[in-house]
């Protein structure tokens, strides 16, 4: 009589029998899951930072992350099971999170392999239609809930009596509106992009813009501007409390005789002239033979940098080379005037 | 204490958050196209209600990265920047005249204001900016753009009012917490948060005092007239040196409007332009009368809207009482206290004029015996039917020389002749007197002044800015 043993190094008919029952159990009792299959990344490797091919491709070997992910345009429908838990919102700076954010969902392993060609992997995005919410605050299109697989493995409960695994458990977390999922959510350029429906981005930008609008009401121009045009200026006085306009206009509503890069030769005493070749533009008053500086036009666009630094960062100028080619003036210092290929 | 609130910390926050408004991140190339995303920034500590609204009440909504959140870490008292808490800074400004009809400012001077500001209280406001990113590349893109701005600090302005002496403030990056995640990540993959810490030395201002100016024509400012504070005995070791100085100051008077006043008889006329040195022509070739109401309404009751131009202000309410006086400085000394005074009342016909009634007691003392009359000897002589017959003590000021025998003497223009009971003699020989003399005309009650060259009214004429004062 052979030794009694449930273990067999070969998957036998027993394995197939149990596997079919387990598969049926999940197919019959599980919920529908749409799978957005990760199929690689957009391979712009001009920076030469990637290794591997296919599923094993790693986009950035320094930071070890695949950012510009590509998802299959076909959507696979699977069945999976998980324990539904009470939602509990956790408020962070980022917004509301689910305190019990992570779901552990179980799939039949061979079904995955036969449908997807592989098991679910980290980076695959799952869409749960049974969590579809068609009663959003404020109305709007109904939205499914999207998760990304963060971890995957064979669960303890997925082994049969003969020690063979049949199940594949994945750990799911909420996706974020980030470049990784741009293939699924869209860029938001199109009205029907999922990003416009599902993401808080547009609202966050609207809030951000409104805050900036309020800040601009307090300070419409860059630092150095003072709102003094409505004040009366005794131009012959240097007494304290006298404020000149900071907008390049003459004091007390007087009119400019003109503006330009050189003073007019036929100006009279008391004429105001704005020199536009000064940065910022500068207002002068003709006093006998002298053009006396009065004030500067400080109505410069607000920038989060000093004026000098702003000229380096907000620089859209181009330079033309001797061969007629053009190049942007703003160049990263590491790439400035690099040698060309012979 | 009464309520006041100027949303000052809110303004600092607004301008601070503005720094982070336009940062973008590249999302890499897709089919040859590079997509850029703006990074939203907002206050970190939102209420749960707003958070639910943001999520549209559904856990299905997806949060967006990258994203920046600003929060206040601390507000500490900055004792090292504490200055004299009793210091009150006073600034006088005037608005341009506002034409309510055209809803625009004119080029003329309008309301005058005195603004008093008491020393604000210094604090150090520490703010955190949490940079939430979905991947390391995003994070480096954002931080590189932010970090170059602080070398070491950035100057911002929290409002554009030139009266606000705390409008400028600095933002200094003082600390960076690279990541909220542990390395390696462990069992949970959480969103990465880098925290930048900034310190803002700020000032919290009490309310200012803004008054329409009550000194109508003259502002007296105490200034030290010296080229070096060492001349005043300045010593580093003396605490609050400038408070130890007594009143050895120079008094400087200015007239904010540069209005000047012309006194003619019982009329005090207000002018906008100043006369040139010879008084015959004016800077722009004309004289422009000013409206006394421009000055008087400063003390008038305000309408409901608080504006001077409010129609509910009754001209009769403008405070010019029977006790109101106009004082004139007839000397060349701006600091002279011997002012000629007269009462003033409103001229109901012409608002450029006040009715001026001289208080003769305030005139300079006469140096000469009073005149009987001022006469033109070429036209009149005693007993001609116009002038009375000669009698002892008669004194005439001559506006021309005496020619002929009607007077029995010869005298020049500007001389004063007197009858001694038997003959006329020259009591005041103008050609030989070069000092100032005063004499009253008994006939008109007016006083005249001899300045060595000519006789003029002792108080009538033009008064430059600073040489007249209106007391309400």
pLDDT in tens, B214-241: 444 444 444 455 566 666 666 666 655 5
Give the best residue of B60, B96, B142 to mutate against chain A (max A CB count within 10 A): B60
Contact A205 B55 (CB under 8 A): no
Chain B residues with beta carbon closer than 8 angstroms to that of A223: 155-157, 168
Better-predicted residue by pLDDT, B35 or B10: B10
Report which DSSP code applies to A174: E
Higher pLDDT, B415 or B313: B415
Q: Say yes or no to pLDDT of A47 above 90.
A: no
Higher-confidence position of B222 and A195: A195
Is this model's pTM higher than 0.90 or not?
no
A148 CA: distance to closest CA in chain B (Å): 11
Q: Which of A218, A213, A179 is CA-nearest to residue A44?
A: A179
Contact B160 A230 (CB under 8 A): no
Do B454 and B412 contact (CB within 8 A), yes or no? no
What lies within 8 Å, CB to CB, of A279 at 6+ separation is none
Question: Would you tell me which residues 51-80 of chain A have a C-beta closer than 8 angstroms to some C-beta of chain B?
Answer: 60, 63, 65, 67-68
Q: What is the pLDDT of residues B117-132, one digit of tens each?
A: 999 999 999 999 999 9
pLDDT category, B312, cuts 50, 70, 90? very low
pLDDT of residue B471: 74
Sheet containing strand B468-471, edge to edge, reads B461-463, B260-264, B267-271, B353-358, B340-346, B325-328, B468-471
Of residues B102 and B217, more confidence is placed in B102
Task: Determine, for residues A232 and B58 on separate chains, whether the beta-carbon distance falls below 8 Å.
Answer: no
How far is B48 from chain A, CA to nearest CA, in Å? 7
Confidence of residue A279 (pLDDT cuts 50, 70, 90): confident
pLDDT tens digits, residue range A148-177?
999 999 999 999 999 999 999 999 988 999
pLDDT beyond 70 at B248: no
Q: For B353-393, how does the pLDDT look when each residue is reduced to its tens digit (9 = 90+)?
A: 888 888 888 888 888 899 998 998 888 888 888 888 888 98
Predicted local confidence at residue A55, as pLDDT: 82
- Kindly determine whether residue B53 and residue A146, on different chains, have CB atoms separated by under 8 Å: no
DSSP state of A231: B
Chain A residue numbers with beta carbons less than 8 Å from the beta carbon of B48 are 89, 91, 96
Q: Are B42 and A211 in contact (CB < 8 Å)?
A: yes
Inter-chain touch A226–B161, beta carbons under 8 Å: yes
What pLDDT is attached to residue A338? 82
Model confidence at B435, in pLDDT bands (50, 70, 90)?
Answer: confident
Chain A residues inside the 8 Å CB shell of B52: 89, 96, 137
| Pick from A14-18, A71-75, A148-152, B308-312: least confident | B308-312
Please give the average per-residue pLDDT across B93-105, as a whole number: 85
Q: Chain A contacts of B158, Cβ < 8 Å?
A: 218-219
For residue B279, what pLDDT band results from cuts at 50, 70 and 90? very low
- Mean pLDDT, to the nearest integer, of B313-330? 67
Instruction: Give the mean pLDDT of chain B.
Output: 81
Share of chain B above pLDDT 70, in %: 79
Per-residue burial over B68-80, b = 16 or more CB atoms within 10 Å of its CB, e = otherwise: bbbebeeeeebee
- What 3-state class would DSSP assign to A98? strand
pLDDT of residue B304: 42
In degrees and rounded to multiples of 5, residue B302 shows phi and psi of: -90, 155
Give the chain B residue nearest A221 (alpha carbons).
B160
Consecutive H or E run containing B416: strand B416-419
Using the beta-carbon criterion (under 8 Å), do B162 and A203 form an inter-chain contact? no
Q: Which pLDDT band holds residue B316 (cuts at 50, 70, 90)?
A: low
Q: Which has the minimum average pLDDT: A245-249, A263-267, B416-420?
A: A245-249
Please report which confidence band the pLDDT of residue B303 belongs to, taking 50, 70 and 90 as the band edges. very low
Smallest CA–CA distance from A217 into chain B, residue: B159
Chosen for mutation from A241, A255, A307, A310 (greatest number of chain B CBs closer than 10 Å) is: A241
Yes or no: say if B293 and B280 are a contact pair by the CB < 8 Å rule.
no
């Amino acid at each position: 009589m052979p030794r009694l043993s449930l273990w067999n190094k070969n998957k036998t008919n027993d394995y197939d029998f149990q596997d079919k029952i387990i598969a049926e159990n999940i197919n019959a009792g599980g919920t529908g899951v749409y799978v957005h299959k990760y199929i690689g990344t957009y391979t712009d490797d001009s920076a030469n930072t990637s290794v591997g091919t296919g599923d094993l491709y790693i986009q950035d070997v320094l930071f070890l992350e695949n950012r510009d992910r590509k998802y299959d345009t076909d959507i696979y429908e699977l069945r999976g099971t998980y324990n539904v838990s009470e939602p509990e919102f956790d408020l962070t700076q980022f917004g509301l999170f689910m305190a019990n954010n992570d779901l552990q969902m179980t799939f039949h392993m061979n079904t995955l392999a036969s449908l997807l060609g592989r098991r679910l992997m980290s980076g695959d995005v799952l869409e749960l239609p049974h969590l579809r919410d068609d009663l959003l605050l404020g109305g709007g299109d109904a939205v499914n809930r999207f998760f990304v697989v963060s971890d995957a493995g064979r669960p303890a409960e997925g082994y049969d009596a003969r020690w063979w695994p049949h199940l594949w458990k994945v750990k799911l977390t909420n996706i974020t509106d980030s470049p990784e999922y741009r293939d699924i959510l869209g860029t938001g350029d199109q009205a029907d992009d999922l990003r416009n429906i599902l993401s808080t981005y547009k609202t966050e930008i609207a809030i951000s813009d409104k805050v900036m609008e309020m800040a601009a009401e307090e300070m419409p121009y860059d630092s150095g501007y003072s709102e003094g045009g409505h004040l009366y200026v005794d131009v012959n006085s240097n007494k304290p409390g006298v404020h000149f306009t900071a907008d390049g206009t003459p004091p007390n509503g007087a009119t400019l005789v003109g503006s330009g890069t050189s003073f007019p030769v036929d100006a009279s005493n008391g004429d105001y002239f704005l020199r536009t070749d000064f940065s910022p533009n500068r207002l002068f008053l003709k006093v006998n033979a002298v053009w006396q500086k009065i004030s500067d036009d400080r109505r410069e666009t607000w920038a989060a940098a000093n004026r000098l630094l702003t000229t380096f960062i907000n620089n859209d100028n181009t330079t033309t080379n001797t061969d007629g080619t053009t190049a942007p003036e703003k160049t990263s210092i590491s790439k400035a005037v690099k040698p060309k290929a012979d | 204490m009464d309520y006041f609130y100027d949303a000052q910390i809110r303004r600092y926050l607004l301008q601070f958050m503005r720094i982070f408004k336009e940062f973008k991140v590249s999302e890499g190339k897709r089919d040859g196209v590079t997509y850029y995303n703006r990074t939203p920034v907002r206050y970190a500590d939102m209420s749960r209600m707003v958070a639910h609204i943001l999520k549209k009440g559904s856990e299905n909504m997806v949060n967006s990265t990258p994203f920046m959140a600003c929060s206040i870490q601390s507000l500490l008292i900055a004792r090292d920047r504490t200055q004299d808490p009793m210091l009150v800074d006073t600034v006088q400004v005037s608005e341009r005249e506002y034409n309510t009809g055209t809803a625009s400012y004119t080029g003329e001077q309008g309301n005058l204001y005195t603004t008093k500001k008491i020393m604000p209280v210094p604090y150090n406001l520490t703010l955190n900016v949490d940079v939430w990113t979905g991947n390391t590349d995003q994070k480096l893109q954002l931080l590189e753009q932010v970090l170059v701005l602080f070398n070491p600090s950035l100057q911002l302005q929290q409002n554009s009012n030139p009266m606000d002496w705390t409008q400028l403030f600095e933002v200094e990056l003082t600390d960076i917490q690279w990541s909220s995640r542990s390395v390696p990540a462990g069992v949970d993959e959480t969103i990465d948060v880098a925290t930048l810490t900034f310190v803002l030395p700020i000032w919290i201002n009490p309310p200012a005092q803004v008054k329409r100016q009550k000194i109508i024509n003259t502002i007296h400012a105490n200034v030290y007239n010296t080229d070096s504070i060492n001349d005043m005995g300045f010593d580093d070791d003396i605490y609050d040196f400038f408070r130890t100085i007594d009143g050895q100051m120079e008094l400087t008077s200015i007239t904010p409007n540069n209005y000047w006043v012309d006194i003619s008889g019982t009329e005090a006329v207000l002018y906008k332009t100043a006369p040139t040195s010879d008084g015959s022509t004016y800077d722009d070739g004309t004289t422009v009368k000013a409206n006394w109401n421009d000055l008087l309404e400063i003390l008038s009751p305000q309408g409901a809207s608080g504006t001077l131009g409010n129609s509910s202000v009754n001209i009769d309410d403008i405070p010019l009482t029977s006790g109101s006086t106009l004082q004139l400085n007839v000397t060349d000394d701006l600091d002279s206290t011997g002012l000629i005074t007269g009462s003033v009342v409103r001229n109901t016909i012409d608002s450029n004029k006040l009715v001026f009634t001289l208080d003769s007691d305030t005139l300079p003392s006469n140096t000469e015996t009073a005149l009987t009359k001022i006469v033109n000897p070429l036209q009149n002589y005693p007993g001609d039917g116009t002038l009375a017959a000669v009698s002892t003590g008669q004194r005439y000021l001559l506006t021309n020389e005496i020619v002929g025998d009607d007077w029995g003497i010869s005298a020049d223009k500007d001389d004063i002749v007197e009858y001694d009971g038997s003959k006329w003699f020259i009591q005041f020989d103008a050609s030989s007197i070069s000092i100032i003399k005063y004499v009253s005309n008994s006939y008109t009650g007016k006083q005249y002044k001899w300045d060595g060259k000519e006789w003029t009214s002792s108080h009538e004429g033009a008064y430059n800015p600073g040489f007249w004062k209106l007391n309400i």
